[in-house]
Structure 1
Amino acid sequence: MLPTLLRTQRLVLREPRPEDAALIFEAYTQDMDVARYMVWRPHKTLRQTKNFIEGCINRWESNQSRPYILALAEREDVPIGMLDALVFSHTVDIGYVLGRQYWGAGLMPEAIVAFCDAALALPDYFRIQATCDTENLPSARTLEKSGFKREGRLERYIVHPNLGHEPRASFMYSRCK
């Protein structure tokens, strides 16, 4: 079972709460620059983000995945991003998002490293993997700074609806024990 709470020097990774929706909407779900390489379109209404958070809470409670809320350690009640972890046997697939005002501060690599260190210390998990669009160089750098190795290129892999309707190429990264 993946951890339910993680702390770093600057961050807390915690379970989602209903009251996170308004702050997440404000921080990033409505921001096209943040959503560009995501598999969802920017939210137009707070209701969309509330529905999203309700789904995250349901997935957390049913142990389908761990959609961690990222918050600054000194403001645990203010979400700034997310790291979603989905288990497939001995592999954990992660995805992540961070509000634009927090880009470039090294926060996402800090969160990813903390998560990977905790998950790979458990006996059941041997591999953490993530993909990113081949044009999303900041995300590729984030994974590399987090100790991930690029394994290859997946052609026609995933649709990013903000960039078009056809599947795009992605890089596959992993960190293993």
Structure 2
Amino acid sequence: MTTPKVKEQFETERLKIRKIVPTDTPHVFDTYASVKKSTRYISWPTHKSVEKDTLPFVDYALQAWNAGTDFTYLIFDLSGIPVGSIGFINEKGRVSFGYILGPAFWGKGFIVEVLNEMLPWFAAQVWVYRLWACCDVDNTASKRVLEKAGLQFEGRIADWAIFPNQKFKSKDCFFFHYPLKKR
């Protein structure tokens, strides 16, 4: 399978979304990766060090982008302030996505705006046959975001994920998919 071509930047009325680059490392750390409140429902541990945690993540993200397996974007407001991140994981055309914002940017509709711009683009790619996301059943804000962005609820799966920032206990998750047109 060839590496899919993926758009490197998107723009909405209030936001710029672009491929992560090495100089983003301090923004990732400061805006959300080191913030316990932001990382509660995330699948990776809260970052404690730029050098030991965030830099290796950014290196991974760039390598995965080039391999066509994971596409990480940083989200900025129009004045250039970083607000969060969104990533799309490509498993041979079955694409899942996740997002994170710094707490100062919660409740402003940013992720719905990002999803409304990016999901139709990913859905239109011939190599994508499924576009989906899941969230911890306790993460009611994320559940609402997915619903507002037009994803369809599929169900609840018991003990689906272990979240390292919740004492590594298994958690139930809600599953959603973005409807794709039949090809």
Q: TM-score, normalising length from structure 1?
A: 0.93
In the alignment, which of 38, 49, 52 is matched to residue 45 of structure 1? 49
Per-residue CA distance 1:49-77 (angstroms, 9 max, x = gap): 112111111111222211111112331xx
- Cα RMSD after superposing both structures: 1.4
2:12 is matched with 8
Give the share of equivalent positions with the same residue, in percent: 26
Per-residue CA distance 1:39-97 (angstroms, 9 max, x = gap): 1221111211112111111111222211111112331xx43211110123342110111
Aligned residue for 2:125, secondary structure, equals coil
Alignment partners' CA distance in 1, 2:92 and 2:57? 25
Structure 2 runs not aligned, ≥5 long: none
1:31 is matched with 35
In the alignment, which of 139, 143, 149 is matched to residue 140 of structure 1? 143
Alignment partners' CA distance in 2, 1:30 and 1:107? 20
Alignment partners' CA distance in 1, 2:92 and 2:63? 21
In the alignment, which of 52, 60, 63 is matched to residue 55 of structure 1? 60
Matched positions, count: 175
Aligned residue for 2:111, secondary structure, equals helix
Alignment partners' CA distance in 1, 2:89 and 2:160? 18
Letter in 1 for 2:59: E
Letter in 2 for 1:33: K
Q: Report whether the alignment pairs 1:152 with 2:159.
A: no
Aligned residue for 1:19, secondary structure, equals helix
> How far did 1:165 drift?
2.3
Structure 1 runs not aligned, ≥5 long: none
1:64 is matched with 69
Alpha carbons of 1:146 and 1:153: their partners in 2 closer, same or farther (altered >3 Å)? same
Q: TM-score, normalising length from structure 2?
A: 0.90
Per-residue CA distance 1:114-142 (angstroms, 9 max, x = gap): 11011112233243100000000000011
Do the aligned partners of 1:21 and 1:49 also contact (CA within 8 Å) in 2?
yes
Letter in 2 for 1:30: S
